[in-house]
Amino acid sequence: MIEFENVSLNWDDRIIFRDLSFSVKPGEKVALVGESGSGKSTLLNLIPGFIPHFRGKIVVDGLILNATNVHAIRQKLAYVPQALQFTVFPTVKSLFFTPFSFVYNRKLKPDRKVVRMLFERFELSTDLLNRSVKEISGGQKQRILLAGALLLKRPVLLLDEPTSALNKEIKQAVADYILGLKDVTVIAATHDEYWMKKSDKILEIKNLHG
């Protein structure tokens, strides 16, 4: 589903990845682990083409990552970054529903019942939708983004520290749910022991730049 062939990346003069190669099978659940600053978020950002200056080859579902294919590749993904920011959206509702306003996702727009069910599963109240984005906690924002990503029904999920702001019980519920999705390939940067245990494969990123 996803292949990295001899991928190298520098930020300025610092080497982040050198000849990194690995592949992820369809439906596989991969936990990206490594110290803080080792390049987990950077690796996730490479896949949707956010860091085009890498060397080597990245292939997603048979498509080589380049300027021509990047849109088709992005359409196979759902991506949840760390839940900072997002304050350009006035309300939680506008944040949550924004992806469903994109032409490509319009048919996926969930009705009220589906939203309520998914929110319940993630222990969120639908009253949150009327709040301002600045007024909700990092953990709430994160679960809202996760819920939205799941509704996009993409074959590949890229998650950056998906449970970092959650307390223990919710952490497990979220991990069980997402890692239990058959046919969905999940690549998640994580420090969460439970998430690692439940994943099929652990990919450790070594700190190359000291």
Ligand X SMILES: Nc1ncnc2c1ncn2[C@@H]1O[C@H](COP(=O)(O)OP(=O)(O)O)[C@@H](O)[C@H]1O
Residues in the site for ligand X, rule: CB under 6 A?
11, 16, 34, 36-42, 189
Which of residues 34 and 155 has its CB atom nearest to ligand X in the complex?
A: 34
Q: Pairing mode, if any, of strands 55-60 and 14-24?
A: unpaired
Q: Is the separation of the CB atoms in 119 and 140 below 8 Å?
A: no
Give which of Mg ion, ligand X, other proteins, none residue 78 binds (C-beta under 5 to 8 Å, depending on kind): other proteins
Q: Which of 55, 53, 32, 28 has its CA nearest to residue 44? A: 32
Least distance CB 77 / other proteins (angstroms): 5
Q: What is the smallest separation between the CB atom of 103 and other proteins, expressed in angstroms?
A: 7
Residue 38 binding partner per list ligand X, Mg ion, other proteins, none, with a CB distance cut-off of 5 to 8 Å that depends on partner kind? ligand X
203 strand-pairing partners: 32
When the beta carbons of 34 and 99 are compared against other proteins, the nearer one is: 99
Q: How far is the CB of 65 from other proteins (least distance, A)?
A: 9
**b/e per residue, 168-201, with b = 16+ CB within 10 A?**
eebbbbbbeebbeeeebbbbbbbebebbbebbee
CB of 160 to Mg ion, least distance (A): 6
- Neighbour tally for 115: CB within 10 Å: 19
User: Of 51 and 196, which CB lies nearer to other proteins in the complex structure?
Assistant: 51
Number of DSSP helices (H) and strands (E) in the chain, helices first? 7, 9
**What does the binding site for Mg ion look like in residue numbers (CB under 5 A)?**
41
Minimum Å gap between C-beta 87 and other proteins is 7
List residues near other proteins by CB under 8 A: 45, 48-50, 52, 67, 70-71, 74-75, 77-82, 84-89, 94, 98-99, 101-105, 145, 148-149, 152, 158
CB atoms within 10 A of CB 72: 12
